[in-house]
Amino acid sequence: MELLANLQLGFGVALAGTNILYCFIGVLLGTLIGVLPGIGPVATIAMLLPATFVLPPVSALIMLAGIYYGASYGGSTTAILVNLPGEVSSVVTCLDGYQMARNGHAGKALAIAAIGSFFAGTVATLLVAAFAPPLAELALKFGPADYFSLMVLGLIAAVVLAHGSLIKAVAMIVLGLLVGLIGTDVNSGVARYSFGLPELIDGVGIGPIAMGIFGFGEIIRNLEHGQKRDVFVKKVTGLMPTWQDLKVSALPIVRGTTLGSALGILPGGGPILGSFSAYTLEKKLAKDPSRFGKGAIEGVAAPESANNAAAQTSFIPLLTLGIPSNPVMALMIGAMIIHGIQPGPQIMTAKPDLFWGMIASMWVGNLLLVVLNLPMIGMWVKLLTLEYRFLYPAILIFCCIGVYSINNTWMDVILAAGFGFIGYLFGKLDCEAAPLLLGFVLGPMMEENLRRALLLSRGDPAVFVTRPISATLLVLAVLLLVIVAAPAVRKKREETFVEEE
């Protein structure tokens, strides 16, 4: 068994004393920045890059990777306990995780998030080890036309994600698309909707939007309700989920892991897309979708598994093709080059100890995360027993620092504040913000790929139906649209939501 031999080599490297230590430092730092809203892995890794000069390359990369997946782990803690996404990828976890906490099941939510993440981490580690090269090949088959159709499918799925009015959901997606249009048009180089502000030439970042709408907006809403909300997490009890909880969560965890692993390989926002899609899927499959948004355990289990799986499989294009699928991976490439390692397809053969060591360290890191997080949950909860008049200013400051540190520009902080106000208004108007975020992420990618596909086909739109991958995805999209729009289904859908009121 070549795979076993490779994994043995990998674990040999990952379990060496110094590497375990750096893996631990990485995941500890990652959890910390994950718990603190705003401070993301990109800023942290960029700041720590110079400090890794003195380390051997393997230890350095193991530590940096640990920060990345540790952050997605820690992000869920804040999402569940404070309803603030510690990381962008934990935005959906807020929806049900926070509600579980309000219902007195904070411990259960945290435990299931940890278990789901660990399971997803284990599976993703094996996936990376066994299928990295063939999976990377598969991703290459996706041309611009196929990506476009994938985005179409994603956007239509986003409509399903929203609860409440269908019109409002569509409106929010379109608004997200519009915000996504701000910035330089890749094809002509013209700046759109930038109002002559140089800070807007690259468009609006996802950080200010997510932090603004979900972070600041939530704080404004809570302030309106005064002090009475802070009692529910004084003490986390029932950390151990019951058999019933595990049984209900088992399938969502498996589905979330599958979906997350698949989406992580594609370029773009792997963990973000993964968690959103997993949530959508669970809601679609649920016997009683009205429970979602009110503390459904599946609504925590699936997206938490998905974002962790995606965080890990996004290493596949990096390690096998040298393609960074997100900004953190671009930084990892930088780290490799600084350490004199050429990233790309030859890593696996030229530096097997590095390649397999990093993969094995991911599993070790996930184990460390479970050990680190569950017993220490009390410490994080302590943070939240603070009175809101202390907690809120602190969170706001961390959010501002975090948003500022993404690009070192004050404009992003102003934008986040503006989106905070908008997010508050959305709450008042019963408009869900999650579809807006999805429209914002997918829109620009969709436009770019649409125009690229047409440029390559010399303006012939037939390319979207003649390519088999693209055609399949479009058929799926149409089917989904029919299901959503079909009168019978629609009526039932509305009934469900009426009951919910």
Bridge partner list, 191 = 184
Query: Contact at 8 Å (CB) between 169 and 159?
Result: yes
Length of the chain: 501
End-to-end CA, the chain: 57
Coil, helix or strand for 465? helix
Near other proteins in 53-82, by CB under 8 A:
53
Sign of the torsion formed by the C-alpha atoms of 491, 496, 499 and 500: negative
Joined together, the tokens standing for residue 176 give: 């997200």
Over the range 236-257, which residues count as b (16 or more CB within 10 Å of their CB) and which as e?
Answer: beeeebeeebbebbeebbbbbb
Coil, helix or strand for 240? coil
Query: Contact at 8 Å (CB) between 182 and 209?
Result: no
Quickly list DSSP for 214-227: IIIHHHHHHHHTTT
Quote the strand ranges of 159-209, DSSP E. 183-184, 191-192
Q: Considering the complex, what minimum distance in angstroms separates the CB of residue 69 from other proteins?
A: 18
By CB under 8 A, tell whether 333 contacts other proteins: yes
Q: Give the nearer residue to other proteins in terms of CB position, either 141 or 490.
A: 141
Query: Applying CB under 8 A, which part among 124-132, 235-243, 320-328, 425-433 lies near other proteins?
Result: 320-328
- Answer for which of 126, 178, 330, 484 binds other proteins (CB under 8 A) is 330
Pattern 440-459, other proteins, x by CB under 8 A: --------x---x--xx-x-
Separation of alpha carbons 210 and 207, rounded Å: 5
Q: Give the nearer residue to other proteins in terms of CB position, either 199 or 230.
A: 199
Query: Contact at 8 Å (CB) between 286 and 248?
Result: no
Pattern 157-196, other proteins, x by CB under 8 A: ---------------------------xxxxxxxx-----
- Answer for which of 30, 38, 274, 317 binds other proteins (CB under 8 A) is 317
Query: Applying CB under 8 A, which part among 7-15, 333-341, 429-437, 485-493 lies near other proteins?
Result: 333-341
Pattern 137-156, other proteins, x by CB under 8 A: --xxxxxx------------
Query: Contact at 8 Å (CB) between 78 and 70?
Result: no
Q: Give the nearer residue to other proteins in terms of CB position, either 141 or 235.
A: 141
Q: Considering the complex, what minimum distance in angstroms separates the CB of residue 354 from other proteins?
A: 15
By CB under 8 A, tell whether 385 contacts other proteins: no
Phi, psi of 490 (to 5 degrees): -65, -40
Q: Considering the complex, what minimum distance in angstroms separates the CB of residue 333 from other proteins?
A: 6
Q: Give the nearer residue to other proteins in terms of CB position, either 330 or 480.
A: 330
- Answer for which of 62, 111, 311, 323 binds other proteins (CB under 8 A) is 323
Pattern 197-226, other proteins, x by CB under 8 A: -xx-xx------------------------
By CB under 8 A, tell whether 39 contacts other proteins: no
Separation of alpha carbons 430 and 359, rounded Å: 44
Separation of alpha carbons 85 and 51, rounded Å: 28
Q: How many residues bind other proteins (CB under 8 A)?
A: 53
Q: Which residues bind other proteins (CB under 8 A)?
A: 42, 45-46, 49-50, 53, 139-144, 184-191, 198-199, 201-202, 267, 317, 321-324, 327, 330-335, 337-338, 340, 342-346, 407-409, 448, 452, 455-456, 458
